[in-house]
Chains A and B, each alone.
Chain A
Amino acid sequence: MIAIDTPFKILWRTFVEQFAANESATSDMQMRRAIIGVITFLVMPGLFLMMRTMSGYEMMVMVARHRNMPQLIETFLAQMAVLFVSYSMISTGLLTAFIWDTLVFDKRDAMVLGPLPLRGSTIVGAKLAALATFLVGTALAVNVVSGVSFAWVTGTLDGRILRHLAGHLLGTIGGAVFMFCTLVVVRGLLVLLVSAHAAATAGSLLQFVFLSAVLCFMMVPTATGQVLPPISWFAALFEWIRGSRVPAVPGLGQYALIALPLSVAGAIAVTFGGYWKQMRAALAPSARVAGTARVRRRLAALITGRDRVARATSDFVLTTLARSRVQQAPIAIAAALGVAIISVALVTREGGIAELRTPRTVVLWIPIVLGYWVVVGLRASFVLPTELKAAWAFRVHSQLPSASYWSGVRAAMIAFAIGPALLVDALVVAPLLGWRIAAVHALIVALAIAITAQFASLLVESVPFTRAYPPGHAKLKTRWQLYLLGMWAIAYLPVRWEMPVLNDPWGFAMLVAKGLAVLVMLEIAGRYRARRWTMPPDSELDDADPEALTFLNLGPGAGHNPQPAI
């Protein structure tokens, strides 16, 4: 007898699969690898954190015993609680940001599930169960190992291993649940009260923020300072259950006990609300061009000049980047990496805050490093397809061979990356070093970004987003040395050359002239290389692939319906 799954089970499985589905994962195997990769990425730093804190704890125990000051151990344990809770909340936030689009019901769910004879409670229940599965899976993966180790090492001292374990798990997992539910609520409210487009845009921003936080957590030595809510609430819960005798702990911990069920209830409510809204009014996102996108398109149009094909290409690239979340993710990831590198450089430098007020590499390179990594992210996003079958428009209307497509892509890259870099120059360099230096430095920043974009465009060989994702294309994890070398050449060296000539107009002009000369050379190389550009293949009927043919035979007399000979 064939066992038939219940609708609830089928829906639950489908919703769970949605968390890992995207256009760049071309098979289930790749999807599973991606999930395992992400969880490993988050579990390993947790283990590293645990080892670091445990060795510190052992040292602290010895010091406390030697000095007869047991309160030192309590203070250290409280710091450990903050670290574990922070890491749990940030890593859960990051994972949640990566599945941002699937947190609540969307138009596609409404269109597919709407006509089916399914009860609303079954659909919402399955969605909530899928969300819970994701949450439990990630929270346990990130926290259980560190929890057991923590309890084993710290609990043996006072013989309360189970209490230490309970404190760790409730604090960290409670924090993770709170973070997850809060993000579900934010996503749901954005859809319900603002627009689906605003909700989608917020996803990339959150990916950037959480990834920056995780990377900083991994790279930057732990800084002590005031702990803010909600981390302080869940760290207090951790400490309260563990048995801390600090008077403020129970009060703060009670906030966690209030916030946790509230966030869960909020998540359930917006899930119901989202379902209700999508089933009644399938959202059709309006597409008014946002201010930043308009500025970028104008800047790209300035770079492309009168070349209409180039302008079409740059507009296409910039609009896709503005509206397609799949393409935004690698940019957010790369930019977060840039932020982490900047943070490490700032934290590990010698000298105090006052020294940042003199022109130094660690300050001047900030906008260039960020711009460099944005370009790296852009280059990575280009290989991710969007609306693959719509690429016929480029095949039909193409005017290859032409350097116009390359010119458009190059212009889009410069227009996209230069804005954030100049903004950071204004926000970071100007307050620290003054407006004059910031304005002069803006020239170097613009040149460096243009050179990076020109160089990166040499590595592009077709109109972005119009080809199927080539499996295993991402090379950052294997060729990171090259990327770091690039950053050294693009961000570090120019700043080192710039500093001695900041007050020497002639020297500065020479530096700019050299930069322009590099740009001209890259321009020539780009136009030469553009001859190798190709159009996207016809996905419906590829000449080179007879297996791409699909024949539908409706009957013996239905006409010529041959099957390809394989």
Chain B
Amino acid sequence: MLKVQDLTKRYASITAIDHVSFEVRPGEVFGLLGPNGSGKSTTVKILMGLLEPSYGRVELDGRDALADLQAYKKLLGYVPEEPHLYTYLTGPEYLQLIGRLRSIPEALLNEKIDRFLELLGIYDDRYQTLSSYSKGMRQKILIAGAVLHNPRIVILDEAFSGLDVTASRVLKAFVRSLAAEGKMVVFSSHVLEVVEQVCSRVVILKDGHIVGHDSVENLRNTLKLPSLDAVFATLTDEENVEKRTNALIAAMHLQ
């Protein structure tokens, strides 16, 4: 089990997250929600071992995960929010780079890469550099890179952005299957419909604090709201959308 305890991160006078705690159990897809600047990315980066927390712990199976970062990283798979890739490499070359950095045996790595490319529908583009890939194709490469080494924990940060409808459907099922295999999946996204479909439990962050933490169903029932979208709007005190839209239209019409 992945347990986050009192996680706090401060940048000078700014507190990005403040005493955030939650658990991710094996076999579940855990949603991480929040508006821009709520602390989602900071939380994800700490979970990934990319940032050191100012305070708090990340425990894996009862042990301090960040104390042995190398061992912990071996268990992680990560799809970042922005598809930054070495665009002069081809898809297979990029996956080879990742696979070798993960010390996957060569023959196994090549077989895995071929299978992923075929299953993700980008095998025919294997000789093209990533610079010519669409955003969705790049996202597929990132997803393949994240699970190439069969990680125990998969962290997906806006993993579905840019994917077409078919690929999204396949990957939603894939994420659920990962959980069914006993993996811990952390799913950070703005797309509440997707979160509602794939996540069993969610944490909603606002101003670096947790404002909601339960299963999607419980949150809906407790707040007597019809959808996660409505729950999110209520918990994050989202401004009246219509009022904001009108203001944007007025700004557009400024002469």
A residues lining the B interface (CB < 8 Å) = 107, 284-288, 308-309, 311-312, 315-316, 319-320, 323-324, 386-387, 389-390, 392-400, 538, 540-541, 543, 546, 549, 551-552, 554-562, 564-565
Contact = CB atoms under 8 A, between A and B. Distances in A.
Contact of A286 (B105, B127, B238): B127
B206 interface: yes
Interface string B72-92: 011010101010111111100
A537 to B, nearest CB: 10
Contact of A389 (B14, B70, B82): B82
Nearest to B205: A560
Interface string B183-210: 0000000000000000000000011100
Contacts of A309: 100-101, 103
Nearest to B76: A396
A330 to B, nearest CB: 18
Interface in B1-54: 11-14, 34-39, 41-42, 45, 48, 50-52
B101 A543 contact: no
Nearest to B236: A559
Contacts of B217: none
A392 B80 contact: yes
Contacts of B85: 387, 390, 393
Nearest to B155: A396
Contact of B38 (A323, A540, A559): A559
B124 interface: no
A288 to B, nearest CB: 6
Nearest to B129: A287
Contacts of A394: 101
A203 B85 CA distance: 24
Given A546-B12, A546-B14, A558-B239, A397 B101 contact: yes
B238 to A, nearest CB: 7
Interface string B150-164: 000000000000000
What band does the interface of chain B fall in when counting residues whose beta carbon is under 8 Å from A? Answer: 35 or more
Contact of B100 (A286, A312, A565): A312
B182 to A, nearest CB: 22
A541 B89 contact: no
A396 B48 contact: yes
Given A396-B48, A398-B73, 16 more contacts: A284-B128, A285-B132, A287-B90, A387-B88, A390-B86, A390-B87, A392-B50, A394-B101, A396-B73, A396-B78, A397-B101, A549-B11, A551-B37, A556-B239, A561-B36, A564-B14
A395 to B, nearest CB: 6
A319 B96 CA distance: 12
A387 B86 contact: yes
Interface of B: 11-14, 34-39, 41-42, 45, 48, 50-52, 70, 73-74, 76, 78, 80, 82, 84-90, 93, 96-106, 127-129, 131-132, 145, 206-208, 236-239, 244, 247
30 contacts: A107-B131, A284-B129, A286-B129, A287-B93, A287-B128, A287-B129, A288-B127, A308-B101, A311-B100, A312-B96, A315-B100, A316-B86, A387-B84, A389-B82, A389-B84, A392-B84, A395-B50, A396-B78, A397-B102, A541-B41, A541-B45, A543-B51, A543-B52, A546-B11, A551-B37, A555-B244, A559-B37, A560-B38, A564-B13, A565-B12
B210 to A, nearest CB: 13
Nearest to B92: A287
Contact of A393 (B38, B90, B98, B105): B98
A397 B80 CA distance: 13
Given A396-B78, A541-B45, A549-B14, A560 B86 contact: no
Contacts of B97: 312, 315-316, 393
Nearest to B109: A308
